[in-house]
Amino acid sequence: MGLFDRLFGKKEEPKIEEVIKEALENLDLSEDTEPDLTEVEEVSQEEAEVEIVEEALLQEEENQETVEESQDSEPTVEVSQEEVEEVPNSEQVSEEENPELLETAEENSSEVLEAETPQVEETVQEKYDRSLKKTRTGFGARLNAFFANFRSVDEEFFEELEELLIMSDVGVQVASNLTEELRYEAKLENAKKPDALRRVIIEKLVELYEKGGNYDETIHFQDGLTVMLFVGVNGVGKTTSIGKLAHRYKQAGKKVMLVAADTFRAGAVAQLAEWGRRVDVPVVTGPEKADPASVVFDGMERAVAEGIDILMIDTAGRLQNKDNLMAELEKIGRIIKRVVPEAPHETFLALDASTGQNALVQAKEFSKITPLTGIVLTKIDGTARGGVVLAIREELNIPVKLIGFGEKIDDIGEFNSENFMKGLLEGLI
């Protein structure tokens, strides 16, 4: 079963109201099934059906009135209190006649409200759905408007669709490939109406990302020390992601250490040190303007000596000085291998999803500077440009392995393509 079938293959169960309505509509009153029915019987049967519907509506109105009465209980209390004062000998029994009972009821109701609204931890899929809401609604609104404007499938339809996809940040290559495949599908299926291609569009987006199911999204943790090198321009959330991951892995029982190798930016060192203090993990730092490779060497030796499970290294992100950055990263790589020959086990590029196609440009440039094993996609919750994941997948074939869902300390996790595609496309078909 493919990814699309796993995500969207099952149909939702019909609502009970729809089942009842369909049953009444399909009720066979023909002469073949009931040949002996007279006109009077037919009329009485119709009246019975009407009575059933009216009773159901009446019951629903009574239930609604009951709910409204319960919601308006406070105003009713005030009126009844006045009535009790005016008519002290009234035989009506109410809570207003017993203030202690009223106070107890109020205390109990507040306790019930507190009990009914506990702080429930979000599931992984709920985090994807929440963080991808802007992307999903933005793309969905454009797609719905697009279909509303076209009554037939012609060349203008495909040109406009390609432009829509590009505006949704799925990338020029993805948009072009998808449009060409849809042209073929339209001819094959002899599709005349745009709505006939709606499901096919979503299916093709899933297939483009799936690429035969070869995701390689798994983080390659080692039995001993796992070394993770983080690169990325300043301001994309790289250091914050490292701090949140440190918290996540420590909560999982791992021994974690951080290395502040962005030594030429004092703010970066201070920020990582603050994260270390906050999540209670050690941070290796060096003197101001120190050689980043020397700080990394100290961190590697300490990690081996102290039996650290996960070592995360924060590096500089001066993309405008590509030659210097390349030389620096190559030197850091040699130092790491001097201590652990097979390290780094992961080299992550942090990308800000809100920058859209600019994130794709950064990914292309960094992939020229150093081999990348995965991407950390940050700030996905505050943007409608989550479609850039599809562009990165199609044009660079670099897997997204980590994703940031928001600002809370636990709003980061390992990327899951099924959760992502479901969160991105749910409700569009």
Q: Would you state the structure tokens that stand for residue 105, as one six-digit string?
A: 């009821």
Q: Which residue has the higher pLDDT, 418 or 267?
A: 267
Confidence tier at 117 by pLDDT (50, 70, 90) = very low
Amino acid, single-letter form, for residue 381: D
Q: Are 230 and 315 in contact (CB under 8 A)?
A: yes
Q: Is the pLDDT of residue 135 over 50?
A: yes
Q: Do residues 228 and 390 touch, judged by C-beta distance below 8 A?
A: no
**CA dist list (Å): 205 to 1, 196, 290:** 16, 16, 47
399: left (phi over 0), alpha (psi -120 to 50) or beta: beta
- The answer to which of 55-64, 91-100, 183-192, 294-303 has the lowest mean pLDDT is 91-100
Between 40-54, 65-79, 133-147, the lowest mean confidence (pLDDT) is in: 65-79
Whole-number Å distance between alpha carbons of 90 and 162? 76
Better pLDDT: 70 or 340: 340
Element (H, E) at 103: helix 99-116
* pLDDT over 90 (residue 277): yes
| Helix (H) or strand (E) run with residue 80 in it | helix 73-86
Single out the residue of 393, 366, 362, 380 nearest to residue 170, CA to CA. 393
Residue 85 to residue 418: CA distance in whole angstroms: 65
**78 pLDDT band (50/70/90 cuts)?**
very low
pLDDT at 224: 92
Residue type present at position 265: R
- pLDDT tens digits along 335-379: 999 999 999 999 999 998 888 778 888 888 888 888 899 999 888
Q: How far is CA 361 from the centre of its chain?
A: 23
* 369, 326 Cβ separation under 8 angstroms: yes
Give pLDDT, residue 18. Answer: 61
- Put residue 10 in one of left, alpha, beta given phi > 0 → left and psi -120 to 50 → alpha: beta
Mean pLDDT on 392-401: 81
* Chain centroid offset of residue 397 CA: 21
Q: Which two tokens stand for residue 6?
A: 């796993």
Who wins on pLDDT, 300 or 353? 300
Cβ proximity of 405 and 129 under 8 Å: no
Q: Hey, what long-range contacts does 240-244 have (CB within 8 A, 24 or more apart)? A: 240/271, 240/275, 240/378, 240/404, 241/350, 241/376, 241/378, 241/402, 241/404, 241/412, 242/272, 242/275, 242/312, 242/314, 243/272, 243/275, 243/276, 243/278, 243/279, 244/404, 244/409, 244/410, 244/411, 244/412
For the chain, percent of residues with pLDDT exceeding 90? 24
So what's the pLDDT on residue 362?
87
Q: Please give the structure tokens belonging to residue 355.
A: 């920058």
Compute the distance between CA of residue 83 and CA of residue 73 in angstroms, rounded to an integer. Answer: 15
Residue 59: pLDDT over 80:
no
Q: Which residue has the higher pLDDT, 329 or 210?
A: 329
**Residue 383 pLDDT exceeds 70:** no
Rounded to whole angstroms, the Cα distance separating 377 from 388 reads 10
- Per-residue pLDDT, 60: 57
CB 235 within 8 A of CB 318: no
Question: Residue written as tokens 């099952």?
Answer: 10
- 227-253 tens-digit pLDDT: 999 999 888 889 999 999 999 999 999
Mean pLDDT, the chain, rounded, equals 74
Return the structure tokens found at 340.
Answer: 């652990």
What domains can you pick out in the chain, each with its CATH number?
226-416 (3.40.50.300)
Backbone dihedral region for residue 186 (phi beyond 0: left; psi -120 to 50: alpha; all else: beta): alpha
Contact 162, 185 (CB under 8 A): no
- Among 23-32, 68-77, 176-185, 255-264, the range scoring the smallest mean pLDDT is 68-77
Amino acid code (one letter) for 343: A
CB 255 within 8 A of CB 310: yes
Mind listing the pLDDT tens digit for each residue in 22-50?
556 555 544 444 444 444 444 455 555 55
Buried b / exposed e along 247-284 (16+ C-beta atoms within 10 A): bbbbeeeebbbbbbbbbeeeebbebbeebbeebebbbb
Indicate the pLDDT class of residue 177, thresholds 50, 70 and 90. Answer: confident
pLDDT at 288: 78
